[in-house]
Structure 1
Amino acid sequence: MTKASYDDVGSGPLHYRDATSLAAGIAGGHVSSRDVVQAHLDRIAELNPQINAIVTLRAEAALREADVADEAVRRDAEVGPLHGVPFTVKDSLDTAGIPTQRGTKLFAGFVPDSDATAVARFKSAGAILIAKTNLPEFSAWTETDNLVTGRTNNPWNLDRTPGGSSGGEAAALAAGMSPIGIGSDVAISLRGPAALTGVVALKATHGRIPYTGHFPTVTSAWWHVGPMARTVRDVALGYAILNGPDGKDGYAVHDEHTAAATTRVAGQTVRVGWVSDDAFAPVDPEVTAAVARAAGQLADLGCHVEQVRVPFIEAARPLETLMTLVNGELTPYIKRLATDREDQLSSIGVEILQMSDPTFGDVLAARSRAESLRSAFAGYFGRFDVLLCPVTPITAPPHAMATLEVDGVEVPSTHVMDATSVFNLTGLPALSVPFGFSSEGLPIGIQLVSRWFDESTILRLGGLLERRGGLGDRRPGGSQPDSAEWRVASTR
């Protein structure tokens, strides 16, 4: 991607400049960190009462840290890639000396002693933590609501959900309350909220970004921590900062420069297979049309593009399989945690308590299906470099829906996870990119998936697509000028 300058995103308000541009402006003395932080604090004061994305605010502390950042620039000190830029963090990640309530009364008022690895890495890059963002209890649902900090609304339409579990983070970014943030994902929780609110999120290869300091640790085999922002280049920057082992997470053991094993030879065109209804039906026709349009754009850019069939996804029953494995670990843990405090749980927590532990046979069958699915994807990525598909089958639905109508078919609300959970089950990297709007004026997202450790390819393609079919200058409550169109080579 091209190197950023402060002026390359036009003359929009500070709260809608992207983090890359703001960092360049602060480092170059074009704008102060204090002004940038204050602009986001003003935006929070203006919009958060309606959206409720921010649950813990560090206004005075963030301004003090901004002054320190500005003094460093005046001294011509060496600065990090996010120097003086504010950021937000999902309230499932530990923050030293700052409440981390995890969406549950069981941890109301809990203050950790240390930062999660991801938080510490953003701080080391010079970023300033401005706020924590909302989530469902235990990060365990697709609606961001809990008994401690309440419900988060979608900034595009307050009657709609921003999704979950990183719904507060997505809503804050979409509304200009933060330029960049950190969320997490066990089945949909980064990519779904991003798609429903018109922002970008990356679920990198499992283990690329350490999980250390995220709750609950018991399900770390499936969870992914990841960056969220309004532009792909910001997410790429966030990923570059977060990526790499920390010596604590036993899954984060690969060097940050570990590359994908690929069958594509030097100079060969990027090979993209795309699918929508054939794999994830029912899907709203407007969502399928966006995926097809993205496929056409990639073909125009020189990629080899084919519509594909992936019957092995349906055969694996990925959502059922993933939930068997995740809940098999989460349910006994929550039962122990909530002993004698069951009355403090939300309906989500109560539902977890009521789940039956899977049998040994259930777990064995689930693991067998998961391994078969990984093998099938290894075969797919021998023929293609990227899978293009929906993120969610619909745009943002109304709050608290138990069932959804999708293309005339009534389905359980859990259907929103069918196109995302498969990539948590396999640990494949997946990027959610906004790609236009529905007839209701709600954002539509598309999902780019690559082979393990090949985040670079989907980030490059995602950058192309956001400029050709993204949100442009449309933002809830404001505007963000569009970047100049650009093209990248189709070779690695």
Structure 2
Amino acid sequence: MATDDRADGSASRSMDDPGLWSASEQTVAIAAGELSSRELVSHVIERIERLDGDINAVVTRDFEAALERAAAADAAQASGERLGPLHGVPFTAKDALMTAGIRSTGGARELADNVPDSDAAVVAAARAAGAIVIGKTNLPRWSADNQSFNDLFGTTSNPWDLSKVPGGSSGGAAAATAMGFTGFEIGTDIGGSIRFPASYNGIWGHKPSFGLIPTTGYLDHIRGGTTEPDINVFGPLTRSCDDLELLFDVLLRRETPWVPQLPPAPDDVGSLRVAAWLDDPYCPVDGDVLSVMGAAVDALEASGVSVDHEARPDIDPLPAWENGLWLVRAAMTLAGRGEGPKHRDWLEHHITREECRRKWAEFFTRYDAILMPVSFHPPFDHMPDGTFAERRIPANGVERPYIEMTRWTILTGMSYLPATVPPLGLTPHGLPIGFQVVGPYGGDRTTMALARRIGELTGGYQPPPRALG
């Protein structure tokens, strides 16, 4: 097969295993007749059956039907028909996404036998682009944790270190992507659920600007699927930046009048005005994480991109995070019989959020992007016991409240900003680290372009050793 050593360090055609190629490379190989869709789907199924045991990422499997769909894709190609830009590429769907004809539970016992008769809008878009669903990936109950375990399917582990979490809530999705069990995945993110798993598994992730990609079909409670919660977004998890850009375009809203008009990618990434906010007393970052992020910024500067290390938005981060945390909790709380937040309460917090958004917008008149941590700590040990209030996370020798892990992600997410996470490298303990490339609302193509440059410099996606077994 042809080789194509990619500058961004993404899954390269020079690898022998097509399961580890990017989805873009997989679909090109299918179009060129280098392998059939059925061969690729069969190969990915074999990888899951051989390698997923201790990881436990793909928890519901629809292999027989997937092989039938792959055969149909091959027949279409033989007759001269291309089904779309993802023709014949297999993918898994996070179990929070409604998937027609396949059990979809949200990780909750209440939906243990739920088989939807329709797809989430993003699943439908991926299928319409020619991709083939092969199964569902694990997550925490109702997508409400930075780990990925539940009573139905048990615990998903990080493919780089089975004693560590893969992040959440899209932990199974990210682990499956890192391991080559899927061509790509679609994560959800209300408090960091794309960004943490991307960082913790050494893959690419993009949290889009709020509203650009439809979020109907989201199973975050027993009657979920018909509404679109505040702050929550859906976005791609991939092995290359090419795939982020491809999936972003595939998943964008198409229904009128909601057809996004977005600025194009910059012609010259080197001319971007970039800031770096890598650490702060508001949320001190573990030394191992800071070292990997700092090396990536150093490489970016050495490549000719000017980085301002002092620039900050005119935001007091602690009250901004506290306000954002309230809004996230409100979006995740089911009110009933007088319980839960009142709409008037939400409006007051929304006003405060809009003030924060205006300050971010003013900052982005002077800068095109800002580099920020995803997590103040690397992937942590499984922590199945205790409540959010009881759990503690170690960083720099200090035990900190579990909920503080969202301090960097909610600060940007509740403000509806886009954030791209490129893989940056490994800590001395061999654990992956990424950071957020954050831009102005609607600046998704800029954050992906800058992240691409960073990936070129840091090596981008590298498969976990277990993926090569």
TM-score (norm 2): 0.89
Of stretches 41-50 and 209-218 in structure 1, the one that deviates more from structure 2 is: 209-218
Cα deviation code 1:452-477 (max 9, x no counterpart): 11111111121121122135645231
What CA distance in whole angstroms lies between the structure 1 residues aligned with 2:162 and 2:417? 33
CA RMSD of aligned residues (A): 2.6
Are 1:88 and 2:77 counterparts?
no
Q: Is the 8 A contact 2:423 2:461 kept in 1?
A: no
Partner residue of 1:79 out of 83, 86, 96:
83
What CA distance in whole angstroms lies between the structure 2 residues aligned with 1:292 and 1:87? 34
Deviation of residue 230 (structure 1)?
A: 1.3
What CA distance in whole angstroms lies between the structure 2 residues aligned with 1:386 and 1:15? 33
Are 1:380 and 2:363 counterparts?
yes
**What SS does structure 1 have at the residue aligned with 2:213?**
coil
What CA distance in whole angstroms lies between the structure 2 residues aligned with 1:414 and 1:165? 14
Alignment: residue pair count: 451
Cα deviation code 1:1-20 (max 9, x no counterpart): xxx89996213211111110
Structure 1 residues 219, 127: closer, same or farther in 2, change over 3 A? closer
Structure 1 residues 358, 220: closer, same or farther in 2, change over 3 A? closer
Deviation of residue 115 (structure 1)?
A: 0.7
Are 1:421 and 2:423 counterparts?
no
**What SS does structure 1 have at the residue aligned with 2:408?**
coil
Deviation of residue 282 (structure 1)?
A: 1.6
Query: Where does structure 1 lack aligned partners over 5 or more consecutive residues?
Result: 248-252, 337-354, 481-492
Map of 1:233 onto structure 2: 242
Query: Where does structure 2 lack aligned partners over 5 or more consecutive residues?
Result: 385-390
Deviation of residue 410 (structure 1)?
A: 1.8
TM alignment of 1:473-488, pairs within 5 A: 473-479=462-468
Deviation of residue 100 (structure 1)?
A: 0.9
Are 1:113 and 2:117 counterparts?
yes
Map of 2:303 onto structure 1: 301
Map of 2:421 onto structure 1: 432
Q: Is the 8 A contact 1:195 1:434 kept in 2?
A: yes
**What SS does structure 2 have at the residue aligned with 1:418?**
helix
TM-score (norm 1): 0.85
Deviation of residue 141 (structure 1)?
A: 1.2
Deviation of residue 320 (structure 1)?
A: 2.6
What CA distance in whole angstroms lies between the structure 1 residues aligned with 2:70 and 2:334? 44
Cα deviation code 1:335-392 (max 9, x no counterpart): 68xxxxxxxxxxxxxxxxxx97347786455323312210110111011000111111
TM alignment of 1:313-324, pairs within 5 A: 313-315=315-317, 317-324=319-326
Partner residue of 1:442 out of 401, 424, 431:
431
Of stretches 284-293 and 312-321 in structure 1, the one that deviates more from structure 2 is: 312-321
Are 1:283 and 2:272 counterparts?
no
TM alignment of 1:289-438, pairs within 5 A: 289-310=291-312, 312-315=314-317, 317-333=319-335, 357-358=340-341, 363=346, 365-400=348-383, 402-438=391-427
Q: Is the 8 A contact 1:195 1:432 kept in 2?
A: yes
Q: Is the 8 A contact 1:219 1:326 kept in 2?
A: no
In the TM superposition, structure 1's runs of 4+ consecutive aligned residues that sit over 6 Å from their partners are 4-7, 264-268
Map of 1:208 onto structure 2: 212
Cα deviation code 1:182-233 (max 9, x no counterpart): 1100011001011011111111111110112112456612110111111111
Map of 1:135 onto structure 2: 139
Map of 1:457 onto structure 2: 446
What CA distance in whole angstroms lies between the structure 2 residues aligned with 1:97 and 1:106? 18
Deviation of residue 424 (structure 1)?
A: 1.7
Structure 1 residues 79, 318: closer, same or farther in 2, change over 3 A? same
Of stretches 264-273 and 150-159 in structure 1, the one that deviates more from structure 2 is: 264-273
What CA distance in whole angstroms lies between the structure 2 residues aligned with 1:313 and 1:162? 31
Are 1:220 and 2:229 counterparts?
yes
Q: Is the 8 A contact 2:105 2:219 kept in 1?
A: no
